[in-house]
Amino acid sequence: MAIPGGDDLPLFSAVSSSARQLFQLLRCISFGPKAQVQITKEGLRFTVEDSRVMQGLAFLDKALFTTFSYTPTVDSLNNDQDVNDNDKPPVFQISLPALLETLQIFGVTDTKDRWSSRDTGVTGSFSHGGPAAAFDNRILDVSGVCRLSYPALGAPLCIILEEKGVTTTCELVTYEPEIQDEIPLQRDRLTQKIIMRSSWLYDAITELSSTSPTRLTITASPSAPFFTLSANGDLGSATVEFSNDPQLLDKFQVQRRTVNTYKFSLVKSASRAMAIASRVSIRGDEQGVLSLQFMIEVEGGAVSFVDFRFVPYLPELGDDDADADDEENEDENLEDLDDE
């Protein structure tokens, strides 16, 4: 792509006092080779997709940065497109592994033995030390000031890291965007909304992994058993049940019994977020689309959200159909966990 010139002011620039928290949030969605980046006035939206049946979204709010500047180009404001198109933020793709390697370039010590899990590749210290441990210098060895800039459409994404007088500059090639639409979640047609401690979901997925399953079946019902995760694999089957106990489930809203099945390996790809988040909102709509929305505590007492969406397997012939009640649930925004 051609790089327009004539302006010294970059299209986007931001400074973060901690590369560590950027690394940890983006690592939650590191299940794909490329991330699609959307720059807005409110922050940076990173989206990763797998075969159009799974998406992971991490939103880096501008509050995570000490400075944040987004200046639309003059050309985009003066072109012949509609006014709504003029306001469309720039979108591009980058190599996510390259970005993560860049953000931890000063964290050269090998911490694998301290925080990798034999079965999941997820930090064991996170689940025992709590969400705050995910942002501990002793765990990640990633620190320093991080400067991001995107000079113009088609230009590389520039990352400058500074620590103890050492400055490293990296330029990541940007690519044309490939993800056209997000997996839709019908918020006005939710069949279930369950909020619980994220560590319990992480423990359940870890337990079910022992059977080497290929599919995960999620059953939600207004009557017992209320919330069930079942997995089947070559080594057998396993089930984890959650009762509708306020000490277990912060919120339990299920209008009717639903049964949906998903590819287990895709759901397990969200394990990094499960391990470091404080709570998770589990939502499903009438089409069976599953949303796992994680609330992650970051430095300074703030919170960030990472959202995963999964498309279910098509129901097989002979499966029991759920009741056809169409009762609408209230619309939910991305920060619905804040209401608790």
pLDDT of 118 > 80? The answer is: no
Return the HEC string of the chain: CCCCCCCCCCCEEEEECCHHHHHHHHHCCCCCCEEEEEEECCEEEEEEEECCCEEEEEEEEHHHCCEEEECCCHHHHHCCCCHHHHCCCCEEEEEHHHHHHHHCCCCCCCCHHHHCCCCCCCCHHHHHHCHHHHHCHHHHCCCCEEEEEECCCCCCEEEEEEECCEEEEEEECCECCCCCCCCCCCHHHEEEEEEEEHHHHHHHHHHHHHHCEEEEEEEECCCCCCEEEEEEECCEEEEEEECCCCCCEEEEEECCCEEEEEEHHHHHCCHHHHHHCCEEEEEEECCCCEEEEEEEECHHHCEEEEEEEECCCCCCCCCCCCCCCCCCCCCCCCCHHHHC
Chain segment 155-197, per-residue pLDDT in tens: 999 999 998 889 999 999 999 999 989 999 999 999 999 999 9
User: How confident is the model at residue 340, as a pLDDT?
Assistant: 53
Sheet containing 157-163, strands listed edge to edge, beginning at the edge strand earlier in sequence: 67-70, 12-16, 145-150, 157-163, 166-172
Query: Across the chain, what does the average pLDDT equal?
Result: 83
User: How confident is the model at residue 77, as a pLDDT?
Assistant: 47
Chain segment 1-30, per-residue pLDDT in tens: 444 444 578 999 999 998 999 999 999 999
Q: What is the pTM of this model?
A: 0.81
Chain segment 236-267, per-residue pLDDT in tens: 899 999 999 999 999 999 999 999 999 999 99
pLDDT of 321 > 50? The answer is: no
**Averaged pLDDT, 197-210:** 96
Chain segment 259-306, per-residue pLDDT in tens: 999 999 999 999 999 999 999 999 999 999 999 999 999 988 889 999
Q: Do the beta carbons of residue 130 and residue 149 sit within 8 Å?
A: no
> Token pair for residue 65?
């940065």
Q: What confidence category does residue 130 fall into, taking pLDDT thresholds of 50, 70 and 90?
A: low
User: How confident is the model at residue 337, as a pLDDT?
Assistant: 64
Closest to 230 in 3D by CA, of 245, 246, 241: 241
pLDDT of 127 > 50? The answer is: no
Least trusted range by pLDDT, from 56-65, 77-86, 198-207, 226-235: 77-86
User: How confident is the model at residue 87, as a pLDDT?
Assistant: 61
> Token pair for residue 165?
């007088």
pLDDT of 234 > 60? The answer is: yes
Q: When comparing pLDDT for 8 and 55, which is higher?
A: 55
User: Which residues have CB under 8 Å from 241's CB, separation 6+?
Assistant: 225, 226, 227, 228
pLDDT of 314 > 50? The answer is: yes
Closest to 340 in 3D by CA, of 307, 298, 303, 289: 303
Chain segment 101-113, per-residue pLDDT in tens: 999 988 643 334 3
User: How confident is the model at residue 62, as a pLDDT?
Assistant: 95
Least trusted range by pLDDT, from 132-136, 205-209, 328-332: 328-332
User: How confident is the model at residue 316, as a pLDDT?
Assistant: 66
Closest to 260 in 3D by CA, of 224, 310, 203, 335: 310
Rounded CA gap, 243 and 208, in Å?
18
What are the φ and ψ backbone dihedral angles of 74, each rounded to 5 degrees? -65, -40
